[in-house]
A and B are shown apart, each in its own frame.
Chain A
Amino acid sequence: AVDPSDKKALNIVMRQKLFAVATSRDVAAFEELFRYYGPRVRAYMAKLSRDGQLAEELMQETMVAVWNKAAQYSPDKGNVSTWIFTIARNQRIDHWRKTNRPDFDPNDPAFVPAEIRPADAAFDMNEDADRLHRAMQTLPPEQLELLKLSFFEEASHSTISEKLGLPLGTVKSRIRLAFAKLRTALEDRS
């Protein structure tokens, strides 16, 4: 088993497992992904509802989608945790709002690509994930709290401002501060 606190190793192993699922429908590799991400996705689903059975169902839907869509994963979608987070989030939107989540399509002829990234982009990405992980641990608690409320409880800025008794402008500026800090950490490639 991988040590979850070693992010770089975790990212690399999880990408290998996902690659094995995509290319050879490797059930053993998928089981390892499931043992790691299943309980996390279940916890994420439970943040929005006290209904344990529902959280279980949404987790299972998410993991089946991971199996089905494994071939669509590519490193430019972020690390495996980020990719699975987006699938889980879309399951939540689908269930709670009965609606789709509009997303851009990199294969669309109207899509505007970025400048070509350096050849070691995949290596950079492991580095970036690791740097992001460490940067998030240095966020002040009140900034981290805002991110958790947004990502886990889908609280709107006005809900957050009521909940924390803060003016709306403060909520927004705190969010911008948090990401400015993360961005500085990512740009600081020493």
Chain B
Amino acid sequence: MSIVHHLDEDILLDHAAGTLAEGFSLAVATHLAVCPECRERYAMIEGAGGELLDTIEPAAGGDAGWQAVKARISNAPLPTAKPARRGASGGSAPVLPEPLRSYVGSDVDAIRWKPMPGAAQFIIPIRDGRAVARLLRIPAGKPVPEHTHRGMEMTLVLSGAFADEDGTFTRGDIEIADGSLTHQPVATNDADCICLAVTEAPLKFKSWIVRLFQPMLGI
């Protein structure tokens, strides 16, 4: 199945410029890993960054800078080769593409899921703390409680599929939601849906029962 839900230029620009919170950049970079179409547009956007660097008014700094760098590179040992990546153990490709797999620390089969009502989650460690990233496993045919958002939410499907007001999302598809969208994602019947969900603020659930338990779930 090919990807139908892509990233817009404004998000790609934020990723290219380095403005985006780390958690959102994780979702963007993982989508780029599986989406040649967005990668091509992204290459153009980074190219625009290179072009701006090329045409910036240069700031001269005298010769000391060169002398300092020259001394450093002459004394530096040759860079060591990169350590081998945590690859797939079997012959098949991992479910979690890089950079997500390194952030999680393993592929999906070794994740220590934390149960939550109607689903399971794994909180992904993110250093900058500006957005919360989690893997969600929604059982086949089951919904995530209906909610809207207090800020941006990015959801990237890794296996299975879900459907909501904006369409059906399969592996590689990414949904960007904000306060203007109220939705109730439902996993399709054929398999559990595993997705990466990144939020910058807690969700706003419609049901008061869910709201009651929300602090315990941390969602």
Question: Which residues of chain A are near B49, meaning CB under 8 Å?
Answer: 82, 85-86, 89, 151
* B102 vs chain A, min Cβ distance (A): 9
* B103 surroundings in chain A (CB, below 8 A): 102
When A147-B48, A150-B14 are in contact, do A110 and B93 touch as well, CB less than 8 Å?
A: yes
* B 49-63 binary contact with A (CB < 8 Å = 1; else 0): 111111111111100
Q: Counting CB contacts under 8 A, is B105 at the interface? A: no
Is the pair A157, B14 in contact by a Cβ cutoff of 8 Å? yes
Contact A40 B98 (CB under 8 A): no
Query: Smallest CB-CB separation from B103: which chain A residue?
Result: A102
Q: In this complex, which of A34, A38, A83, A85 has the most chain B Cβ atoms within 10 angstroms of its Cβ? A: A85
Contact A39 B58 (CB under 8 A): yes
B residues within 8 A CB of A103? 29, 99
Distance, CA A171 to CA B17, complexed state (A): 15
Q: How far is the CA of A40 from the CA of B60 in the complex (A)?
A: 8
Contact segment of B71-79, B115-123, B139-147, B209-217? B71-79
Instruction: Tell me, yes or no, whether B1 is within 8 Å of chain A by CB.
Output: no
Residues in B whose Cβ lies below 8 Å from that of A39: 58-61
**How many residues of A sit at the interface, in one of the four size bands?**
35 or more
Contact, CB under 8 Å: B47 / A60:
no
Contacting residues, chain B, for A147 (C-beta < 8 A): 13, 48, 52
Q: Which of B25, B48, B70, B101 gathers most chain A CB within 10 Å? A: B48
Are the CB atoms of A111 and B65 closer together than 8 Å? no
Q: How many A-B residue pairs have CB under 8 A?
A: 219
Q: Is A101 an interface residue (CB 8 A)?
A: yes
Flag whether A81 is at the interface (Cβ < 8 A).
yes
Query: How many angstroms from the CA of A186 to the CA of B128 in the assembled complex?
Result: 36
Let me know if B175 is at the binding interface, CB within 8 A: no
Partner of B36, one of A10, A60, A115: A115
Give the interface SS of chain A, mostly helix, strand, loop or mixed: helix
Task: Answer yes or no: B204 CB below 8 A from chain A CBs.
Answer: no
- Check if B19 sits within 8 Å of A154, measured CB to CB: yes
> Across the interface, do B73 and A27 meet the contact criterion of CB distance under 8 Å?
yes
Tell me which residues from 1 to 21 in chain A have a Cβ below 8 Å from any Cβ of chain B.
4, 7, 10
A132 contacts the other chain (CB 8 A): yes
CB <8 Å contact, B18 and A100: no
Is A49 positioned at the interface, with any CB of B under 8 Å from its CB?
A: no
Q: Give A82 to B43 CA distance when docked, in angstroms.
A: 9
| B20, chain A: closest CB distance, angstroms | 9
Min C-beta distance of A11 to chain B, whole Å: 9
Say whether B53 contacts A88, CB under 8 Å.
yes
Find chain A residues with CB under 8 A from B96 CB: 110
- Taking CB atoms and an 8 Å cut-off, the chain A residues in 37-65 that contact chain B are 37-44, 46, 55-56, 59-60, 63-64
B47-A128 in contact (CB<8A)? yes
Provided the pairs A40-B58, A108-B85 are in contact, do residues A179 and B50 lie with their beta carbons within 8 angstroms?
no
Give chain A nearest CB distance to B154 CB in angstroms. Answer: 13
Q: Are B18 and A154 in contact (CB under 8 A)?
A: yes
Does A164 lie at the interface of the complex (its beta carbon under 8 Å from any beta carbon of B)? Answer: no
Contact of B10 among A59, A60, A176, A186 (CB under 8 A): A176
Closest 4 A-B residue pairs measured CB to CB? A82-B50, A39-B58, A114-B36, A110-B97
Give 24 A-B contacts (CB < 8 Å), ordered by A residue. Answer: A31-B66, A38-B61, A38-B66, A39-B60, A41-B53, A42-B61, A67-B76, A85-B46, A89-B16, A99-B127, A102-B26, A102-B28, A102-B30, A104-B39, A104-B98, A109-B93, A112-B172, A114-B40, A128-B47, A129-B50, A147-B48, A150-B19, A157-B14, A176-B9
